[in-house]
Structure 1
Amino acid sequence: MTFSIAARCAETGQLGIAISSSSIAVGARCPWLRAGVGAVSSQNITLPALGPQILARLEQASPPVQAIKEVLFSQGYSEYRQVLAIDAGGNTAFFSGEKTLGTHRGVAGKDCVAGGNMLRTPKVVDAMVKAFEDASGLLAERLLVALQAGLAEGGEAGPVHSAALKVVGDLVWPVVDLRVDWADNDPIGELQRLWRSYEPQMDDYILRAIDPSLAPGYGVPGDER
């Protein structure tokens, strides 16, 4: 019911996930990130707890493969789970249980790992990795390019209805956290439009948080700067 890509930017150290699903509000359950540590997507028959628990092990310097294995073993029902992870060093891992739904696949690339289930074709995941590796610019841009490439290759077997983009950098909170919880048509396109609106303001929102005295105003009532 989901396809996603987790990646890092080797230049900035940012980590991010782009994800889309036929299910509602995929961004509320599946992507989990921790600045300077890693990014994890817990999907298929989703157990949200897997994300924070795997990140905790990555923070303790466990390799992604070991972190996923330890957490899945402790939780049980691993045959229903699909998990992909990348750490701050660019090391990746992917797991897909034997009861993962429909056509499923996982592929690791340079500084990225992509995976999905209920896919129209296994080539969806390969297309995402190639698109990410070939793209340039901000990590968020590259993740969205990869997500669109997966959709163009066929995406899910049925229509997708939600999508999310999440990126962490040097701060403890995400610098990008955009979600389309439900759209009858083209949630990925809607996510891209959200990014186009947010990107020019992203640095200003960071500045507003760190040093409000330097933050620009936005012309809203009561803001006279």
Structure 2
Amino acid sequence: MTFSIVGRCQQTGQLGIAVSSSSIAVGARCAWVRAGVGAVATQNVTLPALGVQILDLLGAGQHTPAAARDHALNADNWSQYRQVTVVDSQGRTAFFTGKEALGTHHAVAGAQCVAAGNMLAGAHVIEAMVQAFEKASGMLADRLLSTMQAGLAAGGEAGPVHSAALKVVGDVVWPIVDLRVDWADEDPIGQLDALWKAYRPQMHDYLTRALNPSAAPSYGVPGDE
């Protein structure tokens, strides 16, 4: 019911995830990122706690992505229902798909990225996503979204998708990009891309507002924060 990409930008060190699903509000359950630590997708029959647990273990600095994945999954009595992907702040990766994963499922690690999905139109969808991420240029958010579009073009899920999310972290502790389409009857990935295109020109202004308000632009918008 879900396909996703976790990735790291080698130039900036940014970490992020893009994910889409036939279920509502996929970004609320499946997308986990932490600045300077890593990005985790936890999907299929989702246990959101796995994302937090894996990031905590990575953040402690004593686990590789594979070791953090295994530690978290070993504590889960239902791990064979899970699908998990991880990339850390060094670009190291890990993934897992349990034997109870739904439908056609696949996961592939590429250069500082992992793509994975279940209930897919075919395993080739994930192969296409990794190739797209590795070939893409620009900001990490752009690369993640172009990867999702490549997955969709390759067939995506076996059925229609209804929600999508994009989350990216950089040098500050909060996400610099955190956008979601929680439900759409048509093309949530396209709607998410449109949200990103609207947000991208303002992203650095909002960072400036937070870090140096005296230098921040004023939009003069009612309710402006």
Specify the alignment match of 2:163 in structure 1. 162
**Which residue of 2 is the match for residue 112 of structure 1?**
113
Q: CA RMSD in A?
A: 0.9
Percent of aligned positions that are identical: 66
The C-alpha deviation readout for 1:143-192, integer Å capped at 9, x for no partner, is: 00000000000000000000000000010000000000000000000000
2:29 alignment counterpart: 29
User: 2: CA distance between counterparts of 1:102 and 1:176?
Assistant: 31
Q: Deviations over 1:72-127 (max 9, x none)?
A: 11122111000000000110011000000000000000010100000001011011
Partner of 1:132: 133
- Other-structure match for 2:10: 10
Whole-Å separation in 2 of the counterparts to 1:188 and 1:23? 13
Q: Which runs of 5+ in 2 are unaligned?
A: none
Asked whether 1:177 is paired with 2:192, we answer: no
The whole-number CA distance in structure 2 between the counterparts of 1:51 and 1:95 is: 13
Distance 1:23 1:179 in 2: 13
The correspondence of residues 51-90 of structure 1 with structure 2, limited to 5 A, is 51-61=51-61, 62-90=63-91
Match of 2:221 in 1: 220
Task: Tell me if 1:203 matches 2:204.
Answer: yes
TM-score, normalised to structure 1, is 0.97
* TM-fit CA distance, 1:222: 7.7
Distance 2:72 2:32 in 1: 14
Aligned-partner residue type, residue 217 of structure 1: S
Q: TM-score, normalised by structure 2?
A: 0.97
Q: Distance in 2 between matches of 1:79 and 1:187?
A: 29
C-alpha separation in 2, matches of 1:58 and 1:208 = 30
Large movers: runs of 4+ above 3 Å: none
67-76 or 91-100, which moves further after superposition? 67-76
Deviation per residue, 1:5-50 (Å, 9 max, x gap): 0000011110000000000000000010110000000000001100
- The residue that corresponds to 1:190 in the other structure is 191
Question: Alignment partner of 1:75: what SS?
Answer: coil
Matched, 1:50 2:50: yes
User: Structure 1 pair 222/41, CA: closer, same or farther in 2 (3 Å)?
Assistant: closer
Return the alpha-carbon distance in structure 2 between the equivalents of residues 60 and 182 of structure 1.
35
Structure 1 residue runs of 5 or longer lacking an equivalent are none
The DSSP-based 3-state class of the residue aligned with 2:125 is helix
| Corresponding residue SS for 1:40 | strand
- Give the stretch that moved more between structures: 206-215 or 153-162: 206-215
Q: In the alignment, what sits opposite 1:151?
A: 152
The alpha carbon displacement at 1:221 in A equals 3.6
User: How many aligned positions are there?
Assistant: 223
